[in-house]
Amino acid sequence: MQVLVIGAGVVGLAVARGASRAGHDVVVAEATSGIGNGVSSRNSEVIHGGMYYPEGSLRAIHCIRGRRLLYDYCAAHGVHHRKCGKLIVATTGAEAEKIAAIQRHGVANGVEGLELIGGNAARSLEPALSCVAAVWSPETGIIDSHGLMLALQGDLEDRGGMIAFDTAIERLEPTAGGWSVHFGGKDAGILEVDAVVNSAGLGAQGLARATAGYPAARVPRRILAKGNYFGYARRPVFSRLIYPAPVDGGLGIHVTLDLAGRMRFGPDVEWIDHEAYEVDPRRADEFYARIRTYWPDLPDGSLVPDYSGIRPKLSGPGEPAADFLIDGPAGHGLPRLVHLFGIESPGLTSSLSIADEVIRQLAE
């Protein structure tokens, strides 16, 4: 088949690479001038374990399978990563119960190596920590997400696939044998393909609404939850990822590390109604307060506004977290079309596994 993948984020690139490996002719259309200019370059770059998500959910299944595939892929393709492990810390008795439940849940999900440890054991790993208990996740790691996307692009191009940059898709219309795709940009035109994958991240709902024959009622709400990060302007004190007990809409303001060992904090959860990426320096007050619950020695004046990312959510504040939505022919009835909605965290971790599922659905 000739397959058009819309969006050159980590998920679109993983789908494109998978489809080319499956023998399809693949073109990726990307609205901007480069790969990874959307959500994929604005995240924590964590390879997640998979302990938080409801048993049997797509997030649980693809996170765990995707993580294993991702470590293998990184090893085979020289993508920089580090399995540094992570501690989920409890600072009160109530949080201790919450993280114990996460540990049990993770084991039920099939996450390897999760251990509930006491405060002293956690401090022997990370002496700066203040906590009464922790869950140790040895399989969690960090990754150079841009390096991953470059490797996926390389794999795609080695098999004859290509990416058309500055090419925004505007409309999809079914034809007798496939799809007629209208695109904008300076060389605007129409492309005829056999199959289409909508992996447009924050643009997925707009494209679904511009798909002739796709019922408007199937297009889910697009809810935006911004996550702000603050950098730490001093010498790092942790060598593992440190997460508090999760909060509504996110995993709590955590310590993430980049591959150079630098520490940053975030993301928080800021519900917004339009795309905007500035980090308001006044949010630092909340960061100091939250971080000091597990790291009381965080010095004054050490946090600097860094970057933000926007989670493409399908559920709003106070609602149960929605799952990934992979809507293929068996669901909507149109042949050889898959729309991807709500691919928020752990979408980076899950990308290779989501790709396999999308390719399976295209063949239905």
Ligand X SMILES: Cc1cc2nc3c(=O)[nH]c(=O)nc-3n(C[C@H](O)[C@H](O)[C@H](O)COP(=O)(O)OP(=O)(O)OC[C@H]3O[C@@H](n4cnc5c(N)ncnc54)[C@H](O)[C@@H]3O)c2cc1C
Within 8 A by CB and 6+ apart from 301, the residues are: none
Strands (E), 102-238: 115-118, 133-137, 141-143, 162-164, 169-174, 179-183, 189-193, 195-198, 223-232
Based on the shown chain and the rule CB under 6 A, indicate whether residue 137 belongs to the binding site for ligand X: no
CB of 6 to ligand X, least distance (A): 5
Pick 66 or 178: Cβ nearer ligand X: 66
Based on the shown chain and the rule CB under 6 A, indicate whether residue 309 belongs to the binding site for ligand X: yes
Pick 231 or 346: Cβ nearer ligand X: 346
- Looking at residue 12, its amino acid is G
x/- string (CB under 6 A) for ligand X, residues 329-348? --------------xxxxxx
Pick 44 or 103: Cβ nearer ligand X: 44
Pick 275 or 300: Cβ nearer ligand X: 275
Pick 1 or 202: Cβ nearer ligand X: 202
As to burial, measured by CB atoms within 10 angstroms (0-12 exposed, 13-18 middle, 19+ buried), residue 57 is middle
CB of 277 to ligand X, least distance (A): 11
CB of 177 to ligand X, least distance (A): 22
x/- string (CB under 6 A) for ligand X, residues 241-280? --------------------------x-------------
- Alpha-carbon Rg of the chain, whole angstroms? 21
> How far from 262 is each of 48, 256, 278, 286, CA to CA, in Å?
19, 8, 21, 21
For residue 97, what are its two tokens? 């119960």
CB of 118 to ligand X, least distance (A): 27
Based on the shown chain and the rule CB under 6 A, indicate whether residue 199 belongs to the binding site for ligand X: yes
Q: How far apart are CA 139 and CA 50, in angstroms?
A: 9
Element at 23 (helix H, strand E) = none
**Binders in 1-40 for ligand X, by CB under 6 A:** 6-12, 29-32, 37-40
CA angle 153, 155, 159 (to 5 degrees): 115
Q: How many residues bind ligand X (CB under 6 A)?
A: 41
End-to-end CA distance of the chain: 13
Pick 96 or 309: Cβ nearer ligand X: 309
Pick 100 or 168: Cβ nearer ligand X: 168
Q: H helices within 159-222, ranges in order?
A: 204-209
| Selected range binding ligand X among 49-57, 125-133, 241-249, 307-315, rule: CB under 6 A | 307-315
Residue 14: strand, helix, or coil: helix
CB of 315 to ligand X, least distance (A): 15
Question: Applying CB under 6 A, which residues contact ligand X?
Answer: 6-12, 29-32, 37-40, 42-46, 48, 168-169, 199-203, 207, 227, 267, 309-311, 343-349
